[in-house]
Amino acid sequence: MTILLQLVAAVGWRGLIAGVVGAALSAVAAYPAGRLVERAVCKERIVRRLAEVELQNQETRNARIQEALDARRTVRHGNASAADGGLPDDGFRRD
């Protein structure tokens, strides 16, 4: 309490009120800026995670396609037959 009284005595009650008002105004101005920065950070994290998931899905699809192409090449060159399981199920029906 004595520190507060010394501060009031040093700057006066008008100075103390001006300091409180200035601190309040700076807090009010900083709050939207902080929210804007936090929103941008969250958006960047979400976009990065979505890109990672899409990359994993693309790599999985590419691996399945490559596996099917390798099996077709193997069957085409006579090293294995389709009856021996040379063609994996790649999701397309061939009736």
What ranges do the domains of the chain cover?
15-76
85 phi and psi angles, rounded to 5 deg: 90, 25
pLDDT at residue 75 greater than cutoff 80: no
pLDDT (tens digit per residue) in 37-60: 999 999 999 999 999 999 999 999
Q: From residue 80, how far is each of 56, 67, 88, 93 by CA, in Å?
A: 31, 14, 12, 20
Using DSSP, state whether 55 is helix, strand or coil: helix
pLDDT (tens digit per residue) in 8-40: 788 777 887 888 898 898 888 888 888 999 999
Identify whether the C-beta of residue 76 lies closer than 8 Å to the C-beta of residue 82.
Answer: no
79 phi and psi angles, rounded to 5 deg: -80, -25
Average pLDDT, the chain: 82
Does the predicted TM-score (pTM) go above 0.75?
no
